[in-house]
Amino acid sequence: MPSDKEPFEDLSAIAAQTMEKTRGALDNYFNFLQKTMASYPWGGSELADKLKGFAEQNIAASHDYVRKLSQAKDVHDVIQIQTEFMQTQLSSFAEQAKKLGEVYVKAATGAMRTAGNKSS
């Protein structure tokens, strides 16, 4: 029977190596994405600043989610991590939409005032 265990142990070791390589690749990807977002010229408007900030926030949250998911020990952990991530992201999305709406209304109101002053 010991010879039957060896293939499973080998498979387990291969799976662990694959997970570690995947985790490293995802870390590199998310770090690259964050650096790219930080260096991109967004135009300097309040709306652009908000969009950039939210994009960076969402990338960081996704990176953290993948890190936590890669450390899950069983299906229960995966479900808990997924549930927490979804709840946090839904709440974050609602808050981001609200803030973007406020900035958009502010920008539109400013544009209307500027257009009104030019026609007077």
Q: pLDDT digits over 49-74, tens only? A: 888 888 888 888 888 888 888 888 88
* DSSP string over 24-52: HHHHHHHHHHHHHHHHS---S-HHHHHHH
Task: Answer yes or no: are the C-beta atoms of 54 and 96 closer than 8 Å.
Answer: yes
Predicted local distance difference test score (pLDDT) of residue 12: 65
* pTM passes above 0.75: no
Q: According to the model, what pLDDT value does residue 1 have?
A: 47
CA distance 39 to 18: 32
Residues 6+ apart with CB under 8 A from 58: 89, 92
Q: What is the pLDDT along the chain (120 residues), one digit of tens a residue?
A: 455 556 656 666 776 777 777 777 777 877 787 777 667 665 667 877 888 888 888 888 888 888 888 888 888 998 999 999 999 999 999 999 999 999 888 888 877 887 777 766
